[in-house]
Amino acid sequence: MSWFESFILGLVQGLTEFLPISSSAHLRLTAAFAGWEDPGAAFTAITQIGTETAVLIYFRKDIARIVTAWFRSLTDKAMRSDHDAQMGWLVIVGSIPIGVLGITLKDQIEGPFRDLRLIATTLIVMGIVLGVADRLAARDEAGGRHRAIRERKSLKDLSVKDGLIFGVCQAMALIPGVSRSGATISGGLLMGYTREAAARYSFLLAIPAVLASGAYELKDAGEGHVSWGPTIFATIIAFAVGYAVIAWFMKFITTKSFMPFVIYRILLGILLFVLVGTDSLSPHAGESGD
């Protein structure tokens, strides 16, 4: 991998990680469209450490409160009813599904799941799911002629059951094209949470999963055509761009609809099917031996 490739892929990772359009799919597609080799699951997981570092900094006050309260609750029974302490446990609970499935499906994640036809399908299907969830949220918030405005749930209403459902939604993002934020936010909206609550828990929930995945894949960094230097460079670029994107996105979701992302996902998925269907692009473009 050249330094130029690593710069572009780091830029793509930073731009797409927090948007509900799937960063792993866009890294795969960028390489395929440019005629480069697929950067691979290890490169993707490690560069996500960069964007996750942006989350740690952006939500540093929330994270510090949660971690402090959680540790105190281990010895102080009175702290166990504290919302921040409970949030610590809920992040742990919600991380279980992706941890189990990530290890179980490792070979599929690095192989069959990177097929462009599967990515096109998940882009479209999850785009429709996000669209439906967004419309339901908008209807509750706006009310109507014959409907009263319905109050949506905040993170204070988060239960163990809902945390596990969020976790299962996050685990679906092991398939490129699903999108970690897209799946968890959609799940949250369908369960009746506000856009901000769903997004905030989505980002907090991603921290242990992404950091653990990146650390696990470190052993594979530097193998094949992707060396350590370009990987680290891409990770730094992803961090810088990712921080700017997350700040913008958290403001965007308080007043705007997710429909632009829904339309983009569906159009991109259709384009992929057309390109693969007309043999303009191989479903395995960029893979080793293609």
Q: Distance between CA 172 and CA 96 in Å, rounded?
A: 13
Q: For 65-93, what is each residue's pLDDT tens digit?
A: 999 999 999 999 889 889 999 999 999 99
Residue 227, CA distances (Å) to 7, 91, 219, 220 in order: 13, 33, 12, 10
**Local confidence pLDDT in tens for the 290 residues of the chain:** 889 999 999 999 999 999 999 988 898 899 888 888 877 777 888 888 899 999 999 999 999 999 999 999 999 988 988 999 999 999 999 999 998 998 888 788 777 888 899 999 999 999 999 999 999 998 887 766 666 678 899 999 999 999 999 999 999 988 989 999 999 999 999 999 999 999 999 999 989 988 888 887 776 665 655 678 888 999 999 999 999 999 999 889 877 889 999 999 999 999 999 999 999 988 887 664 43
Dump pLDDT digits (tens) for 48-64.
889 999 999 999 999 99
Q: Please tell me the predicted confidence (pLDDT) of residue 290.
A: 38
Closest CA to 188 of 133, 247, 256, 143: 133
Largest CA distance in the chain: 64
Contact between 43 and 9 (Cβ < 8 Å) = yes
* Whole-prediction pTM: 0.86
* Burial group, residue 196, by CB count within 10 angstroms (0-12, 13-18, 19+): middle
Distance CA 90, CA 205 (A): 9
Tens of pLDDT, residue by residue over 192-208, are 999 999 999 999 998 99
